[in-house]
């Protein structure tokens, strides 16, 4: 069978941030259930920035098999783990420290390597290899879920507009020392990792994201970093936005429901487009 094109993005918009937080928690638990049923564990990658605060709905959720979670970071700032810029620290404060995921299943950067970016990113890549390479014949890790943010300039992870890392096709984890957003030294997942995931989900809130969300979803041809997140089939990409962030976006929304396959994502996008047309 010829390779299938990537599924269209599924766009959920919520009246307010608390509905987004609840729905996101529900979505993550369903992704967990699907992963554990099929593969016996749940591999999740987290971003920093505004995402961690939107994960607080997971604390106190029923039916979560925390002992089966393996957590990585999509990108990390090259600072100690207790530094205020650390993405681990942000996720830990908002969510991780409140749930019983075994600490050895939360994969952080090696703080003894902060002075050597090559070694630091290699060591993080090795942590991915140790978990994914054993049973996975694929060339890249396949995450069950990657949770992403969108910066006001359209960046995601530490993949910035116009940066040479947008063209990386080989490494799983790369480093940069010229991030336009401080701190300048970071490591980041590359597109081959992101675009091999079963599911990627962007989580966007607040008025300051309105223009960029419109640009990414309505004008993907500009190739901004977030628009390049299109996981290969059977992978899926979701957008969770609150009403304030979604205000200027034309791309049609789908009512929040679990979408489990590429075929369901195509159907949801078709129905959303038709509903939008008949409402005009």
Ligand X SMILES: O=C1O[C@H](COP(=O)(O)O)[C@@H](O)[C@H](O)[C@H]1O
Q: Whole-angstrom Cα distance, residue 145 to residue 193?
A: 11
Specify the pairing of strand 186-189 against strand 10-14.
unpaired
Q: Closer to ligand X at the Cβ: 35 or 159?
A: 159
Q: Closer to ligand X at the Cβ: 17 or 136?
A: 17
Q: Closer to ligand X at the Cβ: 186 or 196?
A: 186
**What residues numbered 36-55 form the site for ligand X, per CB under 6 A?**
47-51
Q: Closer to ligand X at the Cβ: 29 or 194?
A: 194
For residue 271, the tally of other CB atoms under 10 A from its CB is 13
Query: What is the 3-state composition of the chain as percent helix, strand, coil, each rounded to the nearest 5?
Result: 40, 15, 40
Stretch that binds ligand X, among 93-101, 155-163, 223-231, 241-249 (CB under 6 A): 155-163
Beta-carbon contacts of 277 under 8 Å, excluding residues fewer than 6 positions away, are none
H-type alpha helices, 17-116: 17-39, 87-94
- Residue 83 interacting with ligand X (CB under 6 A): no
Q: Whole-angstrom Cα distance, residue 18 to residue 133?
A: 38
Q: Whole-angstrom Cα distance, residue 265 to residue 238?
A: 9
Stretch that binds ligand X, among 91-99, 150-158, 163-171, 222-230 (CB under 6 A): 150-158
**Shortest distance (Å) from residue 161 CB to ligand X:** 13
Q: Closer to ligand X at the Cβ: 155 or 230?
A: 155
CB-nearest residue to ligand X: 49
**Shortest distance (Å) from residue 47 CB to ligand X:** 3
**What residues numbered 112-131 form the site for ligand X, per CB under 6 A?**
none
- Residue 225 interacting with ligand X (CB under 6 A): no
Q: Which tokens is 82 given? A: 């207790």
Q: Whole-angstrom Cα distance, residue 1 to residue 194?
A: 24
Q: Which of 201, 174, 168, 200 is nearest to 188 (CA)?
A: 174
Of 149, 154, 225, 231, the one binding ligand X (CB under 6 A) is 149
Of 75, 122, 125, 168, the one binding ligand X (CB under 6 A) is 75
- Residue 158 interacting with ligand X (CB under 6 A): yes
- Residue 181 interacting with ligand X (CB under 6 A): yes
Q: Closer to ligand X at the Cβ: 128 or 272?
A: 128
**Shortest distance (Å) from residue 38 CB to ligand X:** 27
Stretch that binds ligand X, among 151-159, 213-221, 249-257, 262-270 (CB under 6 A): 151-159
Cα torsion angle, 10, 13, 18, 19, sign: negative
- Residue 87 interacting with ligand X (CB under 6 A): yes
Q: Whole-angstrom Cα distance, residue 178 to residue 206?
A: 27
Q: Closer to ligand X at the Cβ: 12 or 272?
A: 12
From first CA to last CA, the distance across the chain in angstroms is 38
Beta-carbon contacts of 161 under 8 Å, excluding residues fewer than 6 positions away, are 153, 154, 155, 224, 225
Binding-site ranges for ligand X (CB under 6 A): 47-51, 74-75, 87, 149, 151, 156-158, 181
């Amino acid at each position: 069978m010829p390779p299938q094109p990537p599924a269209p993005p599924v766009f959920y918009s919520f009246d307010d941030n608390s509905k987004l937080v609840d729905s996101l928690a529900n979505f993550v638990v369903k992704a967990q259930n699907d992963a554990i049923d099929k593969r016996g564990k749940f591999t999740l990658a987290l971003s920093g920035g505004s995402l961690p605060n939107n994960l607080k709905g997971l604390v106190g959720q029923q039916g979560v098999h925390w002992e089966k979670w393996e957590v990585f970071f999509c990108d990390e700032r090259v600072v100690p783990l207790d530094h205020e810029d650390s993405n681990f620290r942000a996720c830990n404060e908002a969510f991780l420290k409140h749930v019983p995921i075994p600490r050895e299943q939360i994969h952080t950067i090696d703080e003894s390597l902060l002075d050597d970016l090559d070694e630091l990113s290699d060591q993080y890549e090795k942590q991915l290899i140790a978990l994914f390479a054993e049973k996975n014949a694929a060339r890249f890790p396949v995450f069950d879920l990657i949770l992403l943010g969108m910066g006001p300039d359209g960046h995601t992870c530490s993949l910035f507009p116009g940066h040479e890392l947008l063209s990386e096709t080989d490494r799983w984890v790369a480093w940069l020392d010229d991030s336009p957003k401080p701190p300048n030294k970071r490591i980041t997942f590359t597109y081959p990792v992101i675009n091999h995931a079963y599911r990627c989900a962007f989580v966007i809130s607040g008025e300051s994201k309105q223009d960029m969300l419109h640009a990414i979803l309505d004008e993907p041809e500009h190739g901004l970093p977030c628009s390049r997140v299109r996981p290969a089939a059977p992978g899926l990409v979701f957008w969770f936005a609150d009403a304030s962030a979604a205000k200027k976006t034309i791309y049609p929304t789908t009512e929040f429901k679990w979408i489990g396959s590429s075929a369901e994502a195509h159907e949801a996008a078709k129905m959303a487009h038709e509903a939008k047309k008949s409402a005009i």
